[in-house]
Amino acid sequence: MTQTENQTGGKLEMKDTPLVPVEDIVSLCKRRGFVYPNSEIYGGVAGIYDFGPLGVELRNNIRRYWWWSMVQNHDNVVGIEGAIITHPRVWEASGHVENFVDKLVECSNCKRRYRVDHLPTENVAQNKCPNCGGQLGEPRPFNLLMETYLGVIEGDKTKTYLRGEACQNIYLDYDNVLKSSRMQVPFGICQIGKAFRNEVTPGNFLFRQREFEQWDLQFFVHPSEMQQWFDYWKEYRYNWYMNIINHKDRIRFRPHASDELAHYAKQAFDIEYRTILGWQEWEGIHWRQDWDLSRHSEFSGRDLSYTDPLTKERYIPWIVETSGGVDRTFLNLLLDAYEEEPDPTGKEKDKRTVLHLNPMLAPVKVAVLPLQKNKEELVTTAKTLHKKLQRLMVSQYDDIQNIGRRYRRQDEIGTPYCVTIDFQTLDDSTVTIRERDSMSQIRLNIEEVPMYLLDRVAWK
């Protein structure tokens, strides 16, 4: 994708680019401090990652944008933040103890393990390992819940689970929210939080991890309004993703076949995104009906039915769920934004690596660069502007190496704007603003810079 932008921020041109290898993203993430392997000095842990200085900024922006769109922009939605550990009965009521199972097979020759539903059909039919052609063993069920224990005395500890899906807290807090927030059906509760799964085959970097983060909306409705709200949220979530990607042709809906529906879902659609890994799930839109509140009513003994304040009708609300992954969003956005371009000036033989991240999500919004670091007036002016901008957005000050190299460093981490303080600044108080995608430059009075940038990096 090559994207150019005119001076008013309008998109002028987009062209397609090849799918990016995941290894290029892994390497960029390590090199520039987005993501590191967890416990690397001990050899690492498969399927668990840490986020570095730039990764935290990007992740926080992604989360905040979701929260802003889903909670703060909807009068009928509120948010909670529940605990990772809950009462163990929660996972019996939810059906996870019984049903949250993958089937695993092991090759008798190379000992590789596979999830049966991830194997190519011909390998399942022939019972043949895709790696070495060896014989695959009998499928064994494998529960994905991670166990943990509460209590200090050996033999007297209670077994419970790290939450296998973050959304369970929402059902547990549903009644409290209803009583404390003046919400009435139809209304929704959102949460962003960690989930834990003993994935049989963690892999593909952040795509399938054992510890990851989910964002959920559970929207409670009268059964007669289920279809209407299901359609509303399906469309809303699709458009939300469309708004943050460059490659609009790489996203689609896929309905679940009846044999792949989760135990709680009567109907489901995945929003999928196409990367080098093929079309893969990004978010699930689930028709959970009355499964959750009925089960928790039954298992806890607490009546979770709702009484309509006008009609006095009593019923268990049905639920529309939208459930996506913060980490998959992080990975997909990097795969969507990454591009290696030949050097446009022709002077350097290095390619230009650029992240075309949406400015509102970019980890660093602006870099302030004095043309030379040994000219005190340039440095003082640049540092004063940088300090002013830091109160409004993430700004970096950089005076190391020539200006071209500094632009490249910022392009590689997706910084949408660079402001250069040069000798003309000292004469007429104007600065150069350079835009990342088009590399176009304009001159602007230094006093106008904060508003110019704020306008371009605000939530949209």
Among 96, 163, 197, 256, binds ligand GAP (CB under 6 A): 197
DSSP 160-213: EEE-SSTTHHHHHHHHHHHHHH---SSEEEEEEEEEE---SS-BTTTTB-SEEE
Q: Closest CB to ligand GAP among 82 and 416? A: 82
Site string for ligand GAP, 315-334 (x = CB under 6 A): ------x-xxx-xx------
Over the window 268 to 287, marking each residue x when it contacts ligand GAP by CB under 6 A and - when it does not, the resulting string is: -------------xxxx---
Q: DSSP assignment, residue 155?
A: T
Give 102 or 411: the residue with its C-beta nearer to ligand GAP: 102
211 vs 412, which CB is nearer to ligand GAP? Answer: 211
Angle at which helix 326-337 crosses helix 53-67, to 10 degrees, equals 110
Site string for ligand GAP, 226-265 (x = CB under 6 A): ----------------------------------------
CB of 274 to ligand GAP, least distance (A): 15
Positions in 135-174 near ligand GAP (CB under 6 A): 165, 167
Residue 295 interacts with ligand GAP (CB under 6 A): yes or no: no
For residue 400, the SS3 value is: coil
DSSP lists the bridge partners of residue 272 as 252, 281
* Minimum separation from the CB atom of position 118 to ligand GAP (A): 12
Distance from C-alpha of 418 to C-alpha of 411, rounded to nearest angstrom? 9
Residue of the chain from 209, 322, 425, 432 that contacts ligand GAP (CB under 6 A): 209
Write down the least CB distance from residue 50 to ligand GAP, Å: 15
214 lies in the binding site for ligand GAP (CB under 6 A): yes
92 scored as a contact of ligand GAP (CB under 6 A): no
DSSP 118: G
d(CA 445, CA 417): 15
- Dihedral (C-alpha) 259, 260, 263, 265: value to the nearest 10 degrees? -100
103 contacts: CB under 8 Å, gap ≥ 6: 115, 116, 117, 139, 140, 141, 142
Task: Give min distance, CB of 455 to ligand GAP, in A.
Answer: 32
DSSP 261: -
Sign (positive or negative) of CA dihedral 307, 308, 311, 317: negative
**Which residues of the shown chain bind ligand GAP in the complex (CB under 6 A)?**
165, 167, 197, 199, 208-209, 212, 214, 216, 281-284, 321, 323-325, 327-328
